[in-house]
Amino acid sequence: ILNVEQSPQSLHVQEGDSTNFTCSFPSSNFYALHWYRWETAKSPEALFVMTLNGDEKKKGRISATLNTKEGYSYLYIKGSQPEDSATYLCALDSSNTGKLIFGQGTTLQVKP
């Protein structure tokens, strides 16, 4: 059974702080690594899909890196804002079938 782990489980930061989360996965079973942002009562929204070792992607204040050899990805948020409050999910695509294996998520709360 493939396992995707995320840490921390939850995080409380002040507005303006920068923060980062970790996603770890089995490096021997990898096709792509996805990051999603999930706000309460909304659909999960894709942030990044990463496939290559060493990939770095950026969208505004959010960026992500990928290390497929050691099996981890980091998500960074620079200068957190209250609207960044959400649960951040990483998901492993291990089989190129569209099926995703999700971590438990990191819930971020940004206080104004």
Give residues in contact with another protein (CB under 8 A): 4, 31-32, 34, 36, 41-44, 46, 49, 89, 91, 93, 96-105
Nearer to another protein, 28 or 96 (CB): 96
Q: Which is nearer to another protein, 14 or 43 (CB)?
A: 43
Task: Residue 96: count other Cβ atoms within 10 Å of its Cβ.
Answer: 8
Least CB distance to another protein at residue 98 (A):
4
Q: How far is the CB of 84 from another protein (least distance, A)?
A: 19
Pairwise CA distance, residues 63 & 79, whole Å: 12
* Cα–Cα distance, 63 to 88 (Å, whole number): 13
- Measured in whole angstroms, the distance separating CA 90 from the mean position of its chain's CA atoms is 4
